[in-house]
Amino acid sequence: MDILHLVDRLEELFNESRPIWLTHSVIVDENRLMDLIDQMRISIPEEIKKAQQVNVQRDRVLAQAQEEANRTLALAREKGEKMIERNEVAQLSQARADQIIEQAHREATKTQREADKYVADTLMRLEAELGRILAQVQNGIRTLQTNGSVQQPQISPNNPKDLL
């Protein structure tokens, strides 16, 4: 399930919650809230898998670009060897081969930068979304603790097992 859809459902749960009179607090259906949190725990690894797939795709594109550069280089060398008969023709072919190699390297570098940027953007969006979700969950917990309806659990933010 898409993490953004789950966030929308969490917001919907909050909006549907009953307000506590004369406060900024609401009463949240615990079962629905816990169900959404469980679904988020399941969905987040899926988002990470998607980011890993983007990395794999980037590596494949880079490998294809490298293969193309190697093929181009091999073709340039082959053509260069055939044209060695004349010095002037050999110089021209060498210059062209150098251009092709340089362009292949530029294209490979550009493709790598674009793939890296896409991966970084995707991971940054995921990080921002997770931060927003975490802030919402923490606000909900604080609200419940402020109302005294929930005792504060002994959870260490540095121990992921405490979060499960």
Per-residue tokens: 13? 């749960």
User: Which tens digits make up the pLDDT trace of 127-136?
Assistant: 998 999 999 9
Among residues of the chain, what percentage have pLDDT more than 90? Answer: 28
CA-CA distance, 141 to 147, in Å (whole number)?
10
Which tops the pLDDT comparison, 45 or 12? 12
Q: Which residue, among 109, 110, 4, 118, has the nearest Cα to 54 in the 3D structure? A: 118
Inter-residue contact 90 to 80 (CB < 8 Å): yes
**Taking phi first (over 0 means left), then psi (-120 to 50 degrees means alpha), and beta for anything else, what does residue 148 get?**
left
d(CA 139, CA 146): 10
Token pair, residue 51, equals: 């980011």
pLDDT digits (tens, 9 = 90+) for 62-108: 999 999 999 998 988 888 777 776 677 767 888 899 999 999 899 99
**Under DSSP, is residue 150 helix (H, G, I), strand (E, B) or coil?**
coil
Contact 28, 13 (CB under 8 A): yes
The model carries a pTM of 0.35
Nearest C-alpha neighbor of 20 from the set 164, 143, 161, 150: 143
- Secondary structure element (H or E) that encloses residue 160, with its range: helix 160-163
Residue of 97, 100, 102 whose CA lies nearest to 77: 97
